[in-house]
Chains A and B, each alone.
Chain A
Amino acid sequence: MAMTLTFAEALWGGAAIIAVLVGVYLFRTRSQPRVVGSLLLWVEHHRPAEGGQWLQRPQMPLLLALEILIVLLVALAAASPRGIAPGQGLPLVVVLDDSYSMRAGGADSPREQAIRAIEQEVAAQAGYQVRLLLAGQRPEFLGETCRAVAQLRQLWPLWTCCSPQGDLDLAIALARETRDHRTRLLVVTDRAPADPPTDGRVQWWAFGRPRANLAFINGGRTMFGVKDRGFFEVANLSSQPVRVEGTIDNGRERRFMLEIAATETRREVFDLELPSASVRIRLPGDDLPNDDELILLPPPQRPVRTAVLLEPGPLRELTERALAATGLASLATAAAPAVASGLATTAAGLSTAADLVVRAAAEAPPSPGQWVWEFLPASGTEAFLGPFALDRANPLVEGLALDGVVWASPATGSVPGIPVILLANTPLVTEERLAQGARRFRMRYDPIRSTLHQTPNWPILFWNLVRWRQSFLPGPAHPNLRLGMEVRLQVPAGRGAVQVTAPDGQTISLPAVGEAVVFQPAAPGLYAVRCGGESFAFAVNCLARQESDLRQSASGRWGDWTRSEAFRQESLDLGWAFLLPAALLLGVHLFLISVGGGGGRRP
């Protein structure tokens, strides 16, 4: 039966009493030097005739030994020892801080110390039924219930400590809700608790140590302007100023030097020599290597392939100019004779390969994943100054201001799709979502009698269209991510899954939900994505200042399971097992005093 002391403080009291007891004994038994003429008459023992060494056994007065033993037993009884019967399980949820600060220090990191401490606890106390609960951005149970250290060791590799944040409160709340009241909670982290646990159900073990750290906390690159440029921010998370030399590798490695005052942040902007290449920026290694490297990939160069299949005229010209002005579209325009003569082969070829098709109204449905913008016939139109109603939730109308715009459109009649822009109750622009990612937009517009194309609203409308379409092109929406962010990978229509290769070389297949795959990278580094015949890449960086700041790391243990009511109910009071021997020894002590046989040495 394993025994637990509910009030271990009583042992300190016992130790103090024993110390006083021994002190009094030593004080009473200290020897006074006294010179005598001869020991002849004082010493009664007889030396052996032969020479030899006197053997002096260490002597502990019997009464003192009994008194110490009695005090010890009473102190143990006062500590309220309680035991749990063999075979009775002890449910335990271990909340593991999964933030990457737990890896600071290498082999002596809080994670390694915590593993050793947990294994010692499980090995010392039989009956534990351990569930591991990862506390990252979202809590997550690991594996099954473990009853032995060997089972725990199979799960430790899953505790990667790569999260930019360990939401311990959320994990504790989950553990409280999903487990019964008997379950003990053990939180292992590298920080002290804001409020030490007092309910007797939670223990908080911290294994951190304040350390100085130099970390990237921000970074990015841009392809706009005269030259492609990048920037990064380095924080000196220590109390001393530092002078550090790092490297920037953009096809060719070069060095940079930074001087950063204590607790300050330094931003550095640099030019990219090879805009199409990735950039790796490195700081000298320290206790926490996760935040010492920054990878910046170039933004994807993905123009929207656009086919304009309009008959020559003002509308076609206006449309082509607006599309060209976006800079995001690669235009493919069908020759005027082909459109006019209805050479379907040429138009169909352009239409099939395009991501966006601008055409007159037609019955032909868009190809899978294709967006079509159709201008409806403008016969019988009337010019209106409004009132216009816009669906502001639709990305198409972002930035549009139709006040003062004259819009010529048929006054009546219905248009298929969801209205995006309305003239009173008459739809002017509608959106229709079709199968396999295809969309069809319809617009009723007479360029002869309207002024929309004479206002900034016209290029804005087509910028919004092309930009929106571009966001649905295959691949990651953003090439550079912070650890902890979700990656949204747009997949081509009809593709069921993508293969993602993590920085450690492992490749996993992720199923697409709709037209996208969304997942959260577990570790920093460079990820490769293969989807059909296309390949993409994105980078994940540790850029969490709070996690990189190790100055507040602490160690210690808080909380006591034995104070919980549940523990009192499920355990047995073992105090009598100490009080009985104490009473027996007390009787022996009194007997020895009465007969005077318990003293120390006598001459």
Chain B
Amino acid sequence: MGEAERSFLREGELAGAPYRLGVPHQLQRGLAGTRVGRGVGSSLEFLDHREYQPGDDIRHINWQALARSDRLSIKLFREEISPHADVLFDTSASMDLPGTPKGRAALGLTALLAKAADNAGFTCTPWRIAAGCERVRDGHLPPSAWEGIDLAAGEDGGEALARLPPAWRPHGLRVLISDLLWATDPAAMLRLLAHQAAAVLVVQVLAQSELQPDFQGNIRLIDRETGREEEVFLDQAAIARYQAHLARHQDHWLLACRRVGATLVTIVAERLVADWKPTPIVEQQFLTTA
């Protein structure tokens, strides 16, 4: 692990001091359609009733109401939420794009969220996605003391995550930090990520040049992870096509996130490192100021 990565972590840790990690006030759970509690609770707490729908847990049928009204209704409870956060961050080489602060922003944001989780009283387990999903060495310590982090993995993060998913804690908050430039199906991966999770936050970190390429002409594109090269001629039309591809890719992820109740935000690296204010995450209520 280099000094640069450590300085990024330290920078993010300092930036995370004013924030507290939390679950948004109202967050759809997708398939069940239940409401989940805001804040942290420790037991099952009755919240409301609604009509029974096929697939609902029959253990929650209000039998007394059935006897009174001959109608099936379901008791809704404030779900118990574990005060734990699993923070996964992509350490593939594409996260360290030369000439951009993408790596700095990704590591800094990871540290920021870890610090915010600590501020909120969450336990936090950082995971790095490399050849698989690996627990960060010394992850129980403050981010600036983490070990074994370098942005040099040469594998598609989605495949790595599918091959070796982490043994994360149920009902916790799960955060994925990556550029999401993966060829794998986001739906399958997000189902894995959202399984038994209280909330899922997917943060896409991109450099400005990835959103709006500033180069044209004959370009030899070099894949940061695989080293594969491709000769292309870029003009405005080609840039527009690329941006359309990117938008479509992001739509796929957004749709997949919605299906599992996850939240997707996109962070521009240059903007984040400018003031270290994770505005999109704050807007989604995953971060609050302390």
Residues of A whose CB lies within 8 Å of any CB of B are: 28-44, 599-603
Contact = CB atoms under 8 A, between A and B. Distances in A.
Nearest to A32: B219
Interface string B218-230: 1111111110101
A38 B233 contact: no
A28 B233 CA distance: 11
Given A34-B215, A34-B220, A36-B221, 11 more contacts: A31-B220, A33-B220, A37-B95, A37-B179, A37-B181, A37-B225, A38-B224, A40-B249, A41-B242, A43-B230, A602-B233
B234 interface: yes
B249 A36 contact: no
A73 to B, nearest CB: 28
A38 B182 CA distance: 8
19 contacts: A28-B218, A31-B220, A32-B219, A34-B222, A35-B97, A35-B222, A36-B221, A38-B181, A38-B223, A39-B221, A39-B223, A39-B230, A40-B183, A40-B249, A42-B242, A42-B245, A599-B233, A602-B232, A603-B238
B210 interface: yes
Nearest to A41: B245
Contacts of B95: 37
A36 B233 contact: no
Contacts of B238: 602-603
B224 A36 contact: yes
* Residue among B232, B234, B238 with max Cβ neighbours from chain A (10 Å): B232
Nearest to A30: B218
Nearest to B206: A37
Contacts of A42: 221, 230, 232, 242, 245
A39 B249 CA distance: 13
Contacts of B91: none
A37 B218 CA distance: 18
Interface in B236-252: 237-238, 241-242, 245-246, 249
B3 interface: no
B232 A38 contact: no
B232 A601 contact: yes
B236 to A, nearest CB: 12
B94 interface: yes
Contacts of A32: 215, 217-220
Nearest to A42: B221
Interface in B255-275: none
A31 B232 CA distance: 8
Contact of A35 (B98, B182, B237, B245): B98
Contacts of B241: 44, 603
A601 B181 CA distance: 25
Contacts of A37: 94-95, 97, 102, 179, 181, 207, 210, 224-225
Interface string B54-72: 0000000000000000000
Interface of B: 94-95, 97-99, 102, 179, 181-183, 207, 210, 215, 217-226, 228, 230-235, 237-238, 241-242, 245-246, 249
Nearest to A34: B219
A42 B230 CA distance: 9
A531 B239 CA distance: 105
* Residue among A33, A39, A599, A602 with max Cβ neighbours from chain B (10 Å): A39
B223 A36 contact: yes
Closest 5 pairs (CB-CB, A-B): A37-B94, A603-B232, A31-B220, A38-B181, A41-B245
Contacts of B210: 36-37
Contacts of B233: 29, 599-603
Contacts of B232: 42-43, 601-603
Nearest to B243: A41
B242 A35 contact: no
A601 B231 contact: yes
Contacts of B237: 602
A31 B223 contact: no
B31 to A, nearest CB: 30
Given A40-B183, A601-B233, A34 B221 contact: yes
B271 to A, nearest CB: 18
B183 A31 contact: no
A601 B95 CA distance: 29
Contacts of A44: 241
B185 to A, nearest CB: 13
A69 B94 CA distance: 45
Nearest to B247: A41
Contacts of A39: 221, 223, 226, 228, 230
A41 B230 CA distance: 12
Contacts of A599: 233
Nearest to B229: A33
Contacts of B181: 37-38, 40-41
Nearest to B226: A39
Nearest to B232: A603
A600 B235 CA distance: 12
Contacts of B222: 33-36
Nearest to B92: A37
Contacts of B245: 41-42
B225 A38 contact: yes
Contacts of A30: 218
A39 B218 CA distance: 15
B168 to A, nearest CB: 26
B180 to A, nearest CB: 10
Nearest to A29: B218
B238 to A, nearest CB: 5
Contacts of A41: 181, 242, 245-246, 249
A71 to B, nearest CB: 23
Contacts of A602: 232-233, 235, 237-238
A144 B220 CA distance: 70
A259 B218 CA distance: 72
Contacts of A40: 181-183, 249
A31 B230 CA distance: 10
A29 B219 CA distance: 9
